[in-house]
A and B are shown apart, each in its own frame.
Chain A
Amino acid sequence: MAIDYDICIIGSGAGGGPVAYSLARAGYSVLILEQGFFPRNQDFYKDEMATALRKIYTPQPQDEPHVIEFPDANSQWKTNLTTKLNWNFWNGNMVGGSSNLMSGFFHRMQPQDFRLLSEYGPIQDANIVDWPISYSDLEPYYTAVESIVGISGTVANTTDPTLRSTANFPLPPTLEHPVTNWLDTACDQLGLVPLKVPRAILSRPTLGRNSCEYSGYCGSFGCSSGAKGSSRVAFILPALATGNCQVRPHSKVQRLHSNTQGKITEVEYIDATGTKQSVTAKIYVIACQAIETCRLLLLSTGPAFPYGLANNQQQVGKNLIFSGGGTGSGKFVYADLSPERAAQLRVMGPFINRALDTWYTISDTKLAPGRHKGGIIEFMLNHPNVVKKADRVKWDSQGKLRWGLELKRHLENTFTTSRSLHFEVFNDWLPNANCQVILDSQTKDRWGTPVARVRIGYHPWDLKVGNFLAQKAQLLLTQLGAKHIHSTITGSPPPNLQAGGCRFGVDPKQSVLNPNCQAHEVDNLYITDGSFMPTGGSVPYTWTIYANALRVAAHIANHISKSSGVPLERPRLHSHAGV
C-alpha cells in the first residue's frame, strides 16, 4: 500500500511546528493535521472581545468539554464539567497553537531540573524522577531555537553562566518600561540581582518578520506584526516555504489505527466539511498538548493495545503536571508619586523584562532544613484587558452587587488613580497520583467521542514553595513603595501550562516514551509536546518544548533514514539563523 507522507504530525503548536520545520527542510514530506483554523498575522487585532470575552480560539465548551475532578475545601473529590465550572482547558486551537497567544517569557530549564530526584531527593507522595537526558543533551537545541525563533535578550547575570554554549542572544533586548529601572533599583537596595528575561519577540526586523510594535497588548493576544515567535511564524511558515510541508486546518483527528504488530497504520480524522478522512505516513507525531495527547492515545485502542495506543503498561495519562505557583500584585497610586514617576508609570508598550531566579534552589530553614527546589518570580504590569477588570468592580468586598453612581465612582477609582505591578510565581508542580487524564465514561464531544476526565490534584509542598517565593516578591514590592500588596498561591492549575502524562524514560514499565520520545511500544510513534516531561522545572515550558521537538526531529530523521536504507542529510538546525 502506498504511504501518503513521510511524517504525519497531529497538532501544530510548540511540539508540532519544530518537527515540521526540521523534517520539511531536510527534504521529507510532512503533513500537519490541525484541529483549528489557520490565522494570518493580519487576522489578529487587539480586541478583548475576540480574545477573552468570547471563545473564538478554542472550541465552544458545550461542544467539547472536559470533565474535571478537583478537591474541595474538605479534600473530598468533586467532579464537574468545564461548562458548569466556567473553566477552559483548551488553549489556542489554531495553526501554531497557544504559542500564538503566549507572552514569550523564554527561559531554559536549568541543569538541576534534569536530575530533580538525585539533586534534591525524594518527597513523599511525589513521583519525582530524573530525566533520561541531561541539560547538555538539550543545550544545542536551546541554542538553535534562539536563532530560529529570534530570541531577544542579554546575558548579564544568569545564575550559572556555563549554561550557554554561545556568548549572547542573537537579538538585543526588547524595549524596557521605565518601571524596570524602579525594579532594578529596588533589587539593588535589597542585594538582589534581577534576571533580565529573554523574550521570544523580535526586537528588530529579521527572519522575514517585523519587530515588536509595543502596543502593550501581548500575552493572550495574537501578534499582528509577526514579532512574537509562535510556532506558526517561526516554524510552520518556513516549513511550508520548502514545498515539502502541507497543513490541513479544521482537521479533527478521531483516532490512530494500529495493526496486530502494534504499528500505526493510519490516522482517521474529520475534515472541515464534516467528512471522515484518513491518511498514512511512515512516522506519526502527536503534539496536541498534554491532556488531548493523552486522550487521543487512550481513544486509539487496537488489536495490540486494548487500553489505548502505547498504553499496555497503563502509564498514559499518569503524572500530568501543570505549573505550580500563583500571582500577586501591588498598587502604585499616581497621587503619591512625583509627576515624573507618575508619567513613567502611565507608559504603555515596553516590557518589564525582569524576573528573580535567586531562589531557584532554596536553602532557608524558613521553608525547611536542607536544599530544596524553588522557582522564579516574573514581573509584569497589569494586563491591559479592561472589560474583565471592570466587570469585577460590580461586586463589593462583601459579594454584593454595585450599580448606579456607586459603581461609576468605583470604576473611576479603579482605572484612573493607580496602576498595578504584578508578579507570577513559577515553581514545580510535583507529579503525583492524583493528577492524571483518563477517558470519561459518560460525556462525549460533538462527534460522539469520550472526552478527557482530568484529575487535578496537587502536592501540598507546591504551595509551601510557592508561598515562600511569593513572600520574597512581596518584599520587593514593599521596597518599591507599592500599596495593597497581596498574593494568591493555590493548587488550582493554570490550564495553559500543561505537561506530562506521557513521560519519557528508560524503563518501559514506568514511562510511555523512550529517551528519544519514541513510544516504547509503538515503533512509528513519537510525541513532541510537553507530555514527555516527567518533571516540569520552574519556568514556562515553551522554549523546552521547542528545543526538545528539534532534538526529536533529528532522531526521526535518523529513524527514517535507517528504515529506508538511504543516508539522509541531518536536519539543518542553524541554517535559518539570519539574526
Chain B
Amino acid sequence: MYKRVIYTVTRRNFLQTALAIPLATATALPACATATNYTIPILQPAKMWQILDSVQQVLFPSEPNIPGATEINAINYLRWVMSDPKTPSTVKDFIVQGTNWLEDMAIRTKQQTFTALTLDDQEIILHQISQSTAGEAWLATLLTYIIEALLTDPIYGGNPNGIGWQWLQHTPGYPRPHDNLAYRTLGY
C-alpha cells in the first residue's frame, strides 16, 4: 500500500477529526484556549525539537537489542533534513506547522505541553490526529524521515555504524559514499 502525501494542508484539516473527540469530553480548557482571539503559539526552535524528539520516540520506540529512534539518531538526522537545501520548503514548513498544531492540541485537550504527557497520552493524541488527512500526512512525513535515518548511509547522520542495516540484515553496496560532499555538489 502506498499513499501520496500532500503537504498543502490547513490547521483546520489537521485538527478537524481529532478535535471532535477530545473537545466533546474536555473539561477544563486553559483560559487562553477558550478565548476567541486565541492563536496557535509559535514554538521556539528548542521546544519544537523537544516535541519532535518525543514524537519520534512514540513512532519508533527503542527495544532491548533493537534500535529505536534514539539509537538511529533520528532527531539529528531530521535536523540535517531540515537544513538540507534539497528538502522542499513546503515539507520543512509542513513539519514546523504540524508541530505547532500538535502542541496546540495537547494544550487544548490535556492542558499540558506534549512533552510532559505520559507515553500513553502522547500515543492517544497521535492516533487522534492521524484520523485527519493532514495529521496523517504529518505523521507519515516524520515516519519517512525516521526510516531514512534507519537505513540511509551513516554519512547523513542516522544509522550509526550501520545499526539499522544490521537489524534488517541489509547488505549495503560498495563503494559507499565517503562523505556527503558529492550529494551536495554534484548534479542538480
- Kindly provide the distance from the CB of B42 to the nearest chain A CB, expressed in whole angstroms: 26
Chain A residues positioned under 8 Å from B86 (CB to CB): 54-56
Chain B residues positioned under 8 Å from A46 (CB to CB): 172-176
Report the number of A-B residue pairs with Cβ-Cβ less than 8 Å.
133
B136 contacts the other chain (Cβ, under 8 Å)? yes
Closest B residue by C-beta to A38: B186
Closest A residue by C-beta to B123: A404
A563 contacts the other chain (Cβ, under 8 Å)? no
Interface size class of B (residues with CB under 8 A): 35 or more
Report how far A384 CA is from B172 CA in the complex, Å: 8
User: Are A392 and B183 within 8 A (Cβ)?
Assistant: no
Chain A residues positioned under 8 Å from B136 (CB to CB): 401
Chain A residues positioned under 8 Å from B58 (CB to CB): 403-404
User: Are A408 and B60 within 8 A (Cβ)?
Assistant: yes
Report how far A57 CA is from B174 CA in the complex, Å: 19
What is the interface of chain B mostly: helix, strand, loop, or mixed? loop
- Kindly provide the distance from the CB of B58 to the nearest chain A CB, expressed in whole angstroms: 7
Report how far A395 CA is from B2 CA in the complex, Å: 6
- Segment of B33-41, B95-103, B151-159 engaged in the interface with chain A: B151-159
A348 contacts the other chain (Cβ, under 8 Å)? yes
A387-B148, A396-B1 given; A49·B183 CB < 8 A: yes
B140 contacts the other chain (Cβ, under 8 Å)? yes
A386 contacts the other chain (Cβ, under 8 Å)? yes
Report how far A391 CA is from B151 CA in the complex, Å: 10
A53-B152, A57-B187 given; A405·B61 CB < 8 A: yes
Q: How many residues of A contact B (CB 8 A)?
A: 53
User: Are A401 and B188 within 8 A (Cβ)?
Assistant: no
- Segment of B14-22, B45-53, B163-171 engaged in the interface with chain A: B163-171
User: 1/0 per position for A50-65, CB-CB distance to B under 8 A?
Assistant: 1001111111101100
Which residues on B are within 8 Å of A, measured CB to CB? 1-4, 58-61, 63, 66, 86, 88, 123, 126, 130, 136, 139-140, 143-144, 147-148, 150-153, 156, 165, 167-178, 180, 182-183, 186-188
Which residues on A are within 8 Å of B, measured CB to CB? 36-37, 39, 43, 45-50, 53-60, 62-63, 86, 93-94, 213, 215-217, 221, 224, 348, 384, 386-387, 390-392, 394-401, 403-405, 407-408, 411-412, 415-416
In the A-B complex, list the 5 residue pairs whose CB atoms are closest, starting with the nearest.
Answer: A46-B173, A217-B173, A56-B187, A395-B1, A415-B168
What are 20 A-B contacts defined by CB distance under 8 Å? A37-B187, A43-B182, A47-B183, A49-B152, A50-B182, A55-B86, A56-B86, A56-B188, A57-B187, A94-B187, A348-B171, A386-B168, A391-B144, A394-B143, A401-B130, A401-B140, A408-B60, A412-B168, A415-B170, A416-B169
